[in-house]
């Protein structure tokens, strides 16, 4: 039976590329798609929104995101049946600012805030391993960086 990975996150492995005006890569440009399931990602005003489905599917989906802020709020509401999904995110300098792995076996609802990073082109990487389910994830929203201590 297919299980639901419902309303999850947004944004994750991000390899940086610098400013959003740099023409080397465009917003939402897919750099790798070996995922055998279905995935769609869209962006409006710097926020991400996406859906993915799988039936014991594996692979990587990796894309550029033009983040107008120094971080992001990630909203995840997940119910997983089997497999796992790993989210990784690097800022525009290539610094890892977020990593989270969701495994099958129940539901999770949470909000995560990335570490502070450099705004600009981030790379989001989503790694699926034998994923069986559906997911709609809420947009991530830029946020004001946390002030240092």
pLDDT tens track for 109-130:
777 888 999 999 999 999 999 9
* 79 confidence band (pLDDT: 50, 70, 90): low
| Pair type for strands 82-90 and 96-103 | antiparallel
Tell me the two tokens of residue 96: 């890892």
**123 to each of 30, 47, 94, 138, 148, how far by Cα in Å?**
10, 14, 8, 18, 25
pLDDT of residue 145: 45
Note the residue count of the chain: 149
Q: Chain-wide mean pLDDT for the chain?
A: 77
Q: In the predicted model, is pLDDT for residue 13 greater than 60?
A: no
Burial call 14-41: b when 16+ CB within 10 Å, e when fewer: bbbbeebeeeebeeeeeeeeebebebeb
Q: In the predicted model, is pLDDT for residue 7 greater than 70?
A: no
Beta bridge partners of 24: none
| Residues sharing a CB contact under 8 Å with residue 23, sequence separation 6 or more, in sequence order | none
Answer yes or no: are the C-beta atoms of 31 and 123 closer than 8 Å.
Answer: yes
Tell me the two tokens of residue 41: 């990602």
Closest by CA to 68, choosing from 50, 40, 87, 47, is 47
- Give CA–CA dist 97/90, Å, rounded: 5
Q: What is the pTM assigned to this prediction?
A: 0.79
Among all chains, which residue has been given the structure tokens 């550029």?
64
Q: Which residue has the higher pLDDT, 52 or 20?
A: 52
pLDDT of residue 141: 52
């Amino acid at each position: 039976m297919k299980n639901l990975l419902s309303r999850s996150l947004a944004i994750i492995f991000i390899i940086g590329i610098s400013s959003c005006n740099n023409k080397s890569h465009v917003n939402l440009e897919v750099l790798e798609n070996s995922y055998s399931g279905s995935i769609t990602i869209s962006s409006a005003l710097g926020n991400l929104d996406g859906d993915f489905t799988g039936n014991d599917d594996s692979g990587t989906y990796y894309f550029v995101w033009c983040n107008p802020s120094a971080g992001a709020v990630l909203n995840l509401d997940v119910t997983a049946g089997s497999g796992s999904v790993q989210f990784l995110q690097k800022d525009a300098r290539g610094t890892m600012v977020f990593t989270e792995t969701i495994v099958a076996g129940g539901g999770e609802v949470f909000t995560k805030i990335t570490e502070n990073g450099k705004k600009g082109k981030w790379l989001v990487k989503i790694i699926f391993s034998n994923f069986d389910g559906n997911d709609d994830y809420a947009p991530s929203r830029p946020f004001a960086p946390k002030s240092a201590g």
